[in-house]
Structure 1
Amino acid sequence: MPPIVYIVRHGQTAWNAEFRLQGQADTELNALGREQASANGHKLSAQIPDPQGFDFVASPMLRTRQTMELARTAMGLDPTGYRTDPRLVEINFGDWQGFTMAELEARQPGSTHGRFHYKWDFLPPGAGAESYEMLLQRIRPWYEALSAPTVCVTHGGIVRALFRLIGKMPKSEAAALEVPQDRILRLSGDRLEWV
């Protein structure tokens, strides 16, 4: 059975606020995102009174590293005392990165139909693009290697993949899952719950 894991989505960015597909574009937190990150750090302190023995790991992207550092500061910890893992980066949207769905549809009518109707298995155009199923396979080895209590800062796509992988959530539900930026997800055994 895997150890307890607290999973935090990065705080809001300007692209989140504009509903842009961020994917692997290296965006930074906006003011609200910085507040969310610090608030989640305070919530983590309440959940983890003694963080000794916890592994702290983040996606190497700027917005997740900023979130981790603000959260650790709020916990009274050295902000730089964590590691990164490239398997935790967000899904790659290929040529669609940086666009809103409305912009993509305006450029090429009908191009977003597949994403709306078959979101889990949909593969955007462009080199390196991933489907959610491909993302799930990318993070499976990370999940299976968990050996210590962990605090993980990552992305919405990773959280959706975890709900499918661990919670056996149907594809359509996992793909459409809302992943808040101001709450913490706790994984205990094979149980996922928002705290």
Structure 2
Amino acid sequence: MTPSRPTIYFIRHGETDWNLEGRLQGQKDIPLNDVGRVQAEEAGRKLKALAPHYEDLAYVASPMTRTRETMEILRGTIGLHPESYKLDERLVELTFGSWEGMTWKEVRKAEPSLAVLREQDKWNYAPPGGGESYAMLVARIRPFLDDITRDTVVVAHGGVARAFLAIACGVNSRQAASMDIWQGKILTIEGRSHRWV
């Protein structure tokens, strides 16, 4: 019998101005906006209700500003030291290459043929200018998941959540690539199942 995998409480960073404008952030380091800060507080309150043992969990975040801010607000909201958590480079968002900073509408206008290629196979398509595909992201994320040995709170990005769902829950790649990843909510991954709170 295989041992059960630790529970993951996944939180996507709160809203940024670029989220609001529909811009591809990728690895551009954009801070939270006021709505994003409120969403981080909401996630903290939900975590406290969801995980009564929240003080004993491991806490790990992507090193980007928006994820660190979310983690620190979340921890402060539940009475934990805001900065007592780990950073892991493997959790950074996938990069959209030369498309970062553009909206999808702008991408479709500037590079219509490439935009169509991505729509046809979101999982495997890597944008121009050094962009990453979800398949490439999965290769980066899998070792992180393998390293988790206890129940863990992860604050990262939408693309990272989709990789988690594909690897940990067996969500098929086409479905995972198009799933909504909510801000201010918690994606709980227990064994092969997942739910939003």
Q: CA deviation at 1:167?
A: 1.8
For 1:129-168, list aligned pairs within 5 A.
Answer: 129-168=131-170
The alignment status of 1:178 with 2:142, answered yes or no, reads no
8 Å Cα contact 1:69-1:79 kept in structure 2: yes
Alignment of 1:16-55 (within 5 A): 16-55=19-58
Residue of structure 2 aligned with 1:89, choices 76, 89, 92: 92
Mapped contact 2:47–2:54 kept (Cα < 8 A)? no
Paired residues of 1:53 and 1:148 also in contact (CA < 8 A): no
Distance 1:11 1:122 in 2: 26
TM-score (norm 1): 0.96
CA offset at residue 56 of structure 1? 0.5
- The residue aligned with 1:192 is 194
Distance in 2 (alpha carbons) for counterparts of 1:4 and 1:87: 19
Q: How many residues align?
A: 194
Are 1:8 and 1:154, in contact at CA under 8 Å, matched by a contact in 2? Answer: yes
The answer for the alignment partner of 2:80 in structure 1 is: 77
Q: Which moved more, 1:8-17 or 1:50-59?
A: 50-59
Q: Secondary structure at the match of 1:6?
A: strand
Correspondent of 2:69 among 66, 71, 76: 66
Identity percentage over the alignment?
Answer: 44
Any unmatched runs of 5+ in structure 2?
none
Question: Could you tell me the TM-score, scaled by structure 2's length?
Answer: 0.95
- Letter of the 1:78 partner, please give it: H
Q: What RMSD in Å do the two structures reach over aligned CA positions?
A: 1.1
Alignment gaps of 5+ in structure 1: none
SS at match of 2:112: coil
Give the conservation status (yes or no) of the 8 Å contact 1:67–1:153: yes
- CA deviation after TM superposition for structure 1 residue 106, in Å: 2.1
Deviates more, 1:16-25 or 1:184-193: 184-193
CA positional deviation for 1:122? 0.6
- Structure 1 position 116, deviation (Å): 1.2
